[in-house]
Amino acid sequence: MRDLRDFGFKDQITRSGLSVPSNIAEGMTRGTPKDKRHFLLIAKGSCAELRTQIYIGIDIGYIDKACGNRWLQETHEVAAMLSGLIGKLANE
């Protein structure tokens, strides 16, 4: 993917990938569980967006299938962790 010349695709996948930890960080600095959940939900949405872009990248040959499948697995794991944290905050 490093040599990919489709800069729009690279930019979009980079943006969604960076959005996940950025929203987690911002959310965890908020004072109320409701505010924290809000940003964690945004992070989870960015994770889903990234997953979609990975699927597309694999389909059009921009991302190696083995690498893409590892990334897909990681996005599923991150989303599951976010769901657990969101659920925990809902009980506070």
How confident is the model at residue 7, as a pLDDT?
Answer: 87
Q: Is residue 24 part of a domain?
A: yes
Domain count, the chain: 1
Residue 2 included in any domain: no
Q: For residue 25, is it within any domain? A: yes
User: What's the mean pLDDT in 56-81?
Assistant: 97
Range of the structural domain that residue 19 is part of = 7-91
Q: How do residues 37-58 score in pLDDT, each as one tens digit?
A: 999 999 999 999 999 999 999 9
> Which pLDDT does position 91 carry in this prediction?
85
Q: Within a domain: residue 68? A: yes
Query: CA torsion sign, 53 to 65 to 76 to 20?
Result: negative
CATH of the domain at 13: 1.20.1440.60
In a domain, 38, yes or no: yes
pLDDT over threshold 90, residue 64: yes
* Assigned domain for 1 exists: no
Q: 60 in a domain, yes or no?
A: yes
